[in-house]
Amino acid sequence: MATVTSTVADICADAKRAAKALARVDSATKNAALEAIATALEERAEEILEANALDMQAGQEADLSQALLDRLLLDEGRIDGIAKAVRQVAALGDPVGEVIDGHRLENGLDVRKVRVPLGVVAVVYEARPNVTIDAAALCLKSGNAIVLRGSSSALYSNEALARIASEAAVAGGLPAGCVSLVAGGGHEELTELATQKGTVDLLIPRGGEGLKAALEAVATVPVIYAASGNCHVYVDASADLDGAERIVLNAKVQRPGVCNSAETLLIHADIAAEFVPRIVKALGDAGVRLRGDERTLALASRMATSGMATSGMAAPGTAASDGAMGGTGQDGIGQQSSEVVEAASEEDWGAEYLTLTLAVKVVDSAEAAIAHIERYGSGHSEAIVTRDTASARAFQLGVDAACVYVNASTRFTDGGEFGMGAEIGNSTQKLHVRGPIGLRELCTFKYLVEGDGHVRV
């Protein structure tokens, strides 16, 4: 496996040669190579965990956030999940050679639009070593060579995973250079990778806005940005509040450090008096800190002074409110409204927290919710909870995002959940890919035209 001990240009040139051979490899060979990768991950799990332990130690010493450490962590269960995802990709249909469209012209020419690999796909990603294998599996199955460039925080994990994948793939019959890793370099190598115009056919950065900005400034190769997610859940006036509570909690709490977790909750004014106190308590019990607009703050304060204090929500200014979280409320939670809900700033509406923090706003209509999302959303995933068909339809038509949900959590925006086996990321762009980037999204197409001595007159 090539690493940064070779130059970036050499790594990409080797990948280009591998891509030409890989484009002609049959499905059975690709599937066998993916099975070899999955088996190698399981058999060499101890080696992977030792490498990951070095990254975790370095991350703790560098005071990485809990969200980043969670992304970085590998354990036996996660390794088993990565291997399972590789097998799921192997079990999917091969997109290469698929006939997208076909017809015969009046002059007798047969025209077929056929799916083909892109060639060399470079993937730049931060902190999540599982992306090393997910991306490699998707690229290999779709006939592409892959050049990986992870972050320094996952240096040892990525190196171990890429080495194992490369060795297993080649042993399984795929060309040398089909999986490569650029590791250990600085921003100059990121720039070099983003400017390999003759060899890299597509670059996919998977990370925050800082990575996106850095690449936008220098990239000369085509780029699909798997960008950040400022995702919203809007609870409409007609919503089933039990279902709304489940969806909001799942969207925020299940895994807050990922891009499809909710960052803002919008609540219709008609149900705010009932739902705000309820959801504030439920989120507070789950450890979520809230940033609310004026109406949310007023309802939370009213909740604290009207009896909810006995369930751990004390009114500001009372003796209980002077204590820290973990005080003496009857349920043992002891959170006060003044602690759980803080005043939101303008920056909160556009924030991707990636932690147990959620912005909350009361809106007067579905149209107001759509307008808020249009102003602050990132185009990733947006959800409405409603029993009104007209509101649901207006939300689906009015919200401009890759994934729009009705009565479901934003956490489902995921290649695995969508039946793609895995994903390289979620694109918030409109060309040529939007949403989860899976097998078919890693292909382009060409026209195959067959005649019988035809000439144009």
Look up the domain containing 196 and give its range. Answer: 8-226+424-450
Closest CA to 129 of 148, 153, 149, 154: 154
Do 66 and 198 share a domain, yes or no? yes
Q: What is the pLDDT of residues 373-406, one digit of tens each?
A: 999 999 999 999 999 999 999 999 999 999 999 9
Do 121 and 246 share a domain, yes or no? no
Mean pLDDT, the chain, integer: 90
pLDDT at 162: 98
Closest CA to 83 of 32, 146, 34, 46: 34
Do 287 and 396 share a domain, yes or no? yes
Domain for residue 3, yes or no?
no
Do 279 and 316 share a domain, yes or no? yes
Do 367 and 307 share a domain, yes or no? yes
Do 216 and 155 share a domain, yes or no? yes
Do 13 and 135 share a domain, yes or no? yes
CB 286 within 8 A of CB 447: no
Domain for residue 169, yes or no?
yes
Say whether pLDDT at 301 is over 70: yes
Domain for residue 2, yes or no?
no
Do 176 and 240 share a domain, yes or no? no
Cα–Cα distance measured from residue 256 to residue 435, given in angstroms and rounded to the nearest whole number: 19
Domain for residue 457, yes or no?
no
Say whether 407 sits in a helix, a strand or coil: coil
Say whether 134 sits in a helix, a strand or coil: helix
The residue with greater pLDDT, 247 or 207, is 247
Output the domain CATH number for residue 107. 3.40.605.10
Output the domain CATH number for residue 365. 3.40.309.10
Say whether 310 sits in a helix, a strand or coil: helix
What's 258's DSSP letter? Answer: S
Cα–Cα distance measured from residue 422 to residue 38, given in angstroms and rounded to the nearest whole number: 14
- pLDDT mean over 324-337: 37
Contacts 24+ apart (CB under 8 A), 69-75: 70/255, 70/257, 71/127, 71/128, 71/257, 71/258, 72/127, 72/128, 72/129, 72/153, 72/154, 72/157, 74/48, 74/49, 74/129, 74/130, 74/157, 75/49
- Copy the structure tokens of residue 51: 């490498």
Q: What is the pLDDT of residues 38-81, one digit of tens each?
A: 999 999 999 999 999 999 999 999 999 887 898 899 999 999 99
Say whether pLDDT at 409 is over 90: yes
- DSSP string of 196-223? -TTT-SEEEEES-HHHHHHHHTT--S-B
Domain for residue 256, yes or no?
yes
Say whether pLDDT at 336 is over 50: no
Domain for residue 92, yes or no?
yes
Do 58 and 204 share a domain, yes or no? yes
Say whether pLDDT at 15 is over 60: yes
Do 269 and 205 share a domain, yes or no? no
Domain for residue 1, yes or no?
no
Q: What is the pLDDT of residues 211-220, one digit of tens each?
A: 888 899 999 9
pLDDT at 228: 80
Say whether pLDDT at 326 is over 60: no
Do 102 and 201 share a domain, yes or no? yes
Do 211 and 261 share a domain, yes or no? no
Residue tagged 């800082």 (tokens): 210
Instruction: Give the total number of structural domains in the chain.
Output: 2
pTM (two decimals): 0.84
Say whether pLDDT at 157 is over 60: yes
Domain for residue 46, yes or no?
yes
- pLDDT mean over 191-197: 96
Contacts 24+ apart (CB under 8 A), 154-157: 154/55, 154/72, 154/127, 154/128, 154/129, 155/55, 155/183, 155/184, 156/51, 156/52, 156/54, 156/55, 157/48, 157/51, 157/52, 157/55, 157/72, 157/74, 157/129, 157/132
